[in-house]
Structure 1
Amino acid sequence: MANILVVDDELGIRELLSEILNDEGHSVDLAENATQARALRANNDYDLVLLDIWMPDTDGVTLLKEWAMNGALTMPVLMMSGHATIDTAVEATRIGAFSFLEKPITLQKLLKAVEQGLARGAATAAAATQTIATAVPAPMVPPPPSGSTATATTAGTDVVLAPEPAPGHQGFDLDQPLREARDQFEKAYFEFHLAREGGSMTRVAEKTGLERTHLYRKLRQLGVDLGRSKRH
């Protein structure tokens, strides 16, 4: 069911159109002039308007232009007239009218025009909704800080996620001065290579690019237990 506004100064035409459209299941409002049409449009949203061109107070083309200028022309408008010129019909279409019906209007032409107008209005509304959905991005949710505990909601239940390690975190305590963190890393680094090379200082020196004398000095400075790394 659609909401339709019929604007025509002839009582017989208003009643006939109202009866036909009501029989088709639509809700119909009637206006006999532009003044009534303005008031109804200001307080209602319509899916379609049937608008007579020649009316005593303000003609239909002028009213159509008003709606177009103030943003009220959001629905398809079918212009109606029994003696309009081609130029008038072209002007109405240029302003924004969907189609033009010449009086007397046959039942078949009326129903076909109304069906096409409602289909156009539905397609335009769907396109506008899609455009808005595409133009407006989903809100960005920043990831939790490193080391923090994130909470997700699934099926109404809060699920606590494990803290996410900071980039490059390999079990070292990064919440300490740089020098201590660097010494901790270097100690782990040399212990790893000593264990892999079976305690061979020559091979570790080659792997790490240090001279043996410098390597010994570095290991003692870091407190590396050389005895545990020697071959048995």
Structure 2
Amino acid sequence: MATILVVDDEMGIRELLSEILSDEGHVVEAAENAQEARESRLRAAPDLVLLDIWMPDTDGVTLLKEWAAQGQLTMPVIMMSGHATIDTAVEATKIGALNFLEKPIALQKLLKAVEQGLARGSAAPAAGGAAAKPASPANASAVASAAALPMLATDSTSGATLPAQTTSISFDIPLRDARDAFERAYFEYHLARENGSMTRVAEKTGLERTHLYRKLKQLGVDLGKNKGE
């Protein structure tokens, strides 16, 4: 049993996540904004935090930076958002976030991310023999390479085997190269999930087919191995 802090300004999401995690046997603390999250963290460090990026008072990335700067980022943090950009996800990971979940969050993805986060959190003190410290620029790339956005690697809904390139992206490379690598993995993920259907991939990614083809060619994505239409 673990204590999990859920930080989200949407009541429905807080209640849903709290219910799911409580059913799994965890103790859930809920905060509707950054200030409540700060107060909860000061009372006691949770075993894991689910942190929304877009909130009205202070956004999740800013709160993550605060915790890191104050030495309070001693627990795994999983970021959540339905509108985050790749740059935002990369930034959060470099600061010290363990993972990123895109809303709406599938049940199996949530449970798997929580399981991985709690496992990482329990392993950190044993490995270091002391309380975990916030990720520094020197070790942020190691954290990111090992755990950045792993939920893109598998699709528990369809059971398909999907690309796992995101788990090996190095954050020691220039931002443009990291963005290209991430986008390549992103499109290969959707191509695999949609069995190569360019029509469905265009719908899922919100791109026109002409733009999609141009983007895939630019990124060097091999379309020959996909069925496509």
Which TM-score applies when normalising by structure 2? 0.56
Secondary structure of 1:19 counterpart: helix
Q: Does 2:47 align with 1:47? A: yes
Residue in 1 aligned with 2:105?
105
**In 2, Cα distance between the equivalents of 1:110 and 1:48?**
13
Secondary structure of 2:57 counterpart: coil
Q: Partner amino acid for 1:123?
A: A
Residue in 2 aligned with 1:9?
9
**Greater length-normalized contact order (CA 8 Å, ≥ 6 residues apart):** 2
**In 1, Cα distance between the equivalents of 2:125 and 2:10?**
32
* Percentage identity across paired residues of the two chains: 77
Q: Does 2:88 align with 1:91? A: no
Q: Partner amino acid for 2:74?
A: T
Aligned residues: 131
What are the Cα deviations for residues 20-49 of structure 1, in whole angstroms up to 9, with x where unaligned? 000000000000000000000011121100
Bigger CA radius of gyration: 1
Residue in 1 aligned with 2:120?
120
**In 2, Cα distance between the equivalents of 1:45 and 1:83?**
28
What are the Cα deviations for residues 164-198 of structure 1, in whole angstroms up to 9, with x where unaligned? xxxxxxxxxxxxxxxxxxxxxxxxxxxxxxxxxxx
**In 2, Cα distance between the equivalents of 1:28 and 1:19?**
9
1:129 positional shift: 1.9
Residue in 2 aligned with 1:157?
none
Considering fraction of residues, name the structure with more helix: 2
**In 1, Cα distance between the equivalents of 2:76 and 2:49?**
7
Secondary structure of 2:73 counterpart: coil
Q: Partner amino acid for 1:3?
A: T
Q: 1:130 to 1:87 in 2, by over 3 A?
A: closer
Residue in 2 aligned with 1:175?
none
1:125 positional shift: 1.4
Residue in 1 aligned with 2:30?
30
Q: Partner amino acid for 2:14?
A: R
**In 2, Cα distance between the equivalents of 1:40 and 1:34?**
10
**Could you say what the CA RMSD is over the residues aligned between the two structures, in angstroms?**
1.2
Residue in 2 aligned with 1:138?
none
Q: Partner amino acid for 1:128?
A: G
**In 2, Cα distance between the equivalents of 1:35 and 1:90?**
24
**In 1, Cα distance between the equivalents of 2:84 and 2:17?**
19
Secondary structure of 1:110 counterpart: helix
Q: 1:24 to 1:65 in 2, by over 3 A?
A: same
1:130 positional shift: 7.5
Paired residues for 1:171-182 under 5 Å: none
**In 2, Cα distance between the equivalents of 1:125 and 1:41?**
18
Residue in 1 aligned with 2:81?
81
Which TM-score applies when normalising by structure 1? 0.56
Q: 1:130 to 1:53 in 2, by over 3 A?
A: closer
**In 2, Cα distance between the equivalents of 1:5 and 1:128?**
24
Secondary structure of 2:129 counterpart: helix
**In 1, Cα distance between the equivalents of 2:125 and 2:106?**
29
Q: Mark the runs of 5 or more structure 2 residues left unpaired by the alignment.
A: 132-229
**In 2, Cα distance between the equivalents of 1:47 and 1:19?**
17
1:127 positional shift: 1.1
